Amino acid sequence: MVQELICIVCPKGCHIKVDGENISGYTCLRGLSYAKQESVNPLRTITSTVLIEGEDNLVCPVKTSHEIPKKEIFNVMKVINKIKAKRPIKMNEVLIKNVLNLGVDIISTKEIL
Ligand code: SF4
């Protein structure tokens, strides 16, 4: 089965076709690498927010420290949505260590004093 992808590595957005070992449509090696990874185990970085303890209208923006398998996004979001962070929160502070044993942390992307 031919898989059609749009490369998201850069804004050019090349249309790539993956047919088993045959990959076409990419215009650079980063696109080839993306297509290989995407056809086997698609990865994504998640960005979201977490609630802050004792605050009704304030959330802390977070992201995964590295990419996670696309199929785990929903499960990771369930964990992110359950926690409440405690102030003060430093930039890049680990709020969830090794989420779901994926070897990836959930870290803050903003300092909240
Ligand atoms: S294949 Fe290369 S040039 Fe094309 S979108 Fe991907 S990274 Fe950009």
pLDDT at 1: 84
- Whole-model pTM: value is 0.84
Question: How many CA atoms lie within 13 Å of 13's alpha carbon, on the beta-carbon side?
Answer: 1
Are the C-beta atoms of 15 and 4 separated by less than 8 Å? Answer: yes
Confidence of residue 38 (pLDDT cuts 50, 70, 90): very high
- CATH class of this structure's domain 47-108: alpha beta
Q: Whats the size of the chain, residue-wise?
A: 113
Q: Is the CB of 27 under 6 A from ligand 1?
A: yes
Find out whether the beta carbon of 33 lies less than 6 Å from any atom of ligand 1: no
- The residues, any chain, with a CB within 8 Å of residue 33's CB and separated by 6 or more, are none
pLDDT digits (tens, 9 = 90+) for 79-110: 999 999 999 999 999 999 999 999 999 999 99
Cite the residue boundaries of each domain of the chain with CATH code 3.10.530.10. 47-108
Average pLDDT over residues 45-66: 95
Q: Is 15 in the pocket of ligand 1 (CB under 6 A)?
A: no
Q: Distance from the CA of 18 to the center of ligand 1, in angstroms?
A: 15
CB neighbourhood size of 25 (10 A): 16
Q: 96, 60 in Cβ contact below 8 A?
A: no
What's the pLDDT score for residue 72?
A: 97
